[in-house]
Structure 1
Amino acid sequence: LLLATLLISVFFLPLAAVEKTLTLEEAIDLALKANPEILQAQQEIAAWRGLGLQLTSWPLPELSFSREGLNIGQKKGESEINLSLQQLVEFPGKRALRREVGGHGVEAASWRLEAKKRLVISQVKKAYYLVALSQETLAYYRSLVDFLNQSLRTAQLRYEAGEVPYLDILRLELEKLRLQNEIIMTEKDQEERWAELALLLGGEIKERREVVFDLKFQPLTRSLEDLLREAEGRPSLAALSQEVERIKAETELARKSLLPDFRLGLYYPSLRTSSWGFEIQTFLPLWRTQQKGATAEALARQKAAEISLEFQRKKIVSGITAVFNRVQSLERRLHLFQQTLLEEARSMLNLTITLYAQGKVGFLDLLEVYRLNRETRLAFLNTLFEHHLALAEIEVAGESE
């Protein structure tokens, strides 16, 4: 009876309470505030705003001073001082196009920030779930250690009573050593996974904490069509669309570079103070090789941006479809675990315990069923966490991390 109680308790042992915990919401909030990639994306927006100011700024006016009649080596004669002020004026429409280029650049950077936030949230979720998997696996292994310790004491009592051979005790000792080795490996995995999570959080948390995770299975409620429809509004696609519009504006600006700019000048002579001078200069577009080259380059980059946008759409559709199919497969396995496998393994364990107590099965049979229960439980945990990882991935499926 004691052995049966210990074996059954393996599946229901509660986790010990800890003082410091980290919820998934807290982890996401920290990452959005401190993740280096998000901070870099925010600076990219600021950089584009600064570039936008440069693109729309007026050329600096030119102030010149000249003196005529220096009479070098001759007797002093009449000389004149001229002051001039000149301003470059671009052909109408060029400055507006540069403003459009800067505006699309800011919009694209803003959408890239939103896309980066989604990627980071997905990365944080997956890292958090991996820490939780190590934590749950470690807790389960430790509960098995308690069971094996109690089983050893029970086996020793039964051996002293002449009911079981000493070989049963040796087998339990070996099983305990094997389990302790698995605990060491799981602790190592937990530390490595926590380090990955802490890095995503910007290094804001210096000490490891327990994560809070609900083992409840929650199936995906959205259909593939719903997911694909939602993906049409992804920030990454919006960013690429803005890039296409920006390059279109650059292409139009390159075409307008064939149109000449003007330089306006105003002159003031020192002797003929009433004879102000006015000048208009322009550039003759006789050689258009540079302008034609700039237009060809802009058109090529525009086509490349359009290809990139279309390819990204296809990648997202393919990625979502693949992850959705994986989720469906995992959910079928989880339903099988919950409906049959876990309960059957537990019933088999109870039956074997009873038969062992009655002397109808040997210790090896009991140990085999115990291992079957352990592997079934671990397989369920791994499948459950794979499902959570897939749900986190499907939100950014098809996008580079």
Structure 2
Amino acid sequence: MKLIFVAVSLLTVMSSTIAQTPDTTLVSAPTQAATQVMPNSGLALSGYVEAYYSHDFTAPKTAQERSGFTYNHRRNREVNINLAFAKLAYTSERVRGNLALQVGTYAQYNYAAEQELVKNIFEANAGVKLSKTKDLWLDAGIFASHIGFESAISKDCWTLSRSILAENSPYYLSGVKLTYTSANGKWTVLGMATNGWQHIKKVDGYGGMSFTSQVQYRPSDKLTLNWSSFLGSDLPDSLKQTRFFNNFYAIINPQGRFGVILGFDVGTEQKPFVRLAGERIAGYYTWYSPVVIARYKTSDKSYVNGRVEYYDDKNAVIIGIPGFQTTGYSLGYDYAILPNALFRVEGKVYSSQTPIFESSNGLSRTNTSLTTSLAISF
């Protein structure tokens, strides 16, 4: 509760004092974030609030939660806050640090397994530049994940809701990372030792560290190519189940009238440690997910966007639903009411090969929903 009180207090102070500066996020919607830089201090305050209403037409009217494999906009048929945070950032030539405190249903569901003290931490890290001439940084703490092209901050994503692959790969990571950016800004290379697959607190019985990487190439402002990976485990050491995961994406013409994102996730995990006649049963489970997102700029203030995706996790490694093989379709419209206020509406349909969605008549193979949101950055 103390963390929540501090976050709300920071938001209250910031809303009355900050000025607007352009949002430089590569894949951001047509909005502007705002930041107040304190004179001669290197400190900057910023904040974000996203309110939403999601209506699941398939689920029973009394169902208060949507599908369990989603973590954003999960409350059903009620107005709620998906994510709100206040962020304090410090930057100098050789030192940087960030602290962001959060509230909302995103934090409620996605941080459910974490210790109470850290559930309201969206970001908390410190870094030092290791070279006077090279852009080489060593940072430690809790970070927004570098894996994937979507984040929990809806305004920075091309669609209102997250793709299935984003909802089921790390949104945050904790550990130590080394990041290098080339002098021309075209290459970014990152390596990180983490506490596991989206964990601040390690899984009980897991004694080692996991490792992630990122290689990103931006030959121009019209193309970004990215490969991120994870190597480690999300289970106790006794099960001996190593996980290897890869995330690939290309962002094409992000600032143009028409843009496209092509994404693909694929992962493998060793089968449970079982011995038969003195020998270990070998083999791996595999899951994968392709996604295509396109958007078209209809005016200086608006976009339309569409998405087609597929997620195959029939062995229930990530999602936990046996036989999960689901296709998703979405169509959305975004309108920037003000430079820092974005209204969005999106319709989404899921189609599964097996009945997995709760409905008034039992389980259904399809699910239909409509979500609206209002996001304010300041």
TM-score with structure 1 setting the length: 0.18
Greater strand share, structure number? 2
TM-score with structure 2 setting the length: 0.19
Greater helix share, structure number? 1
Find the structure with the greater CA-based Rg: 1
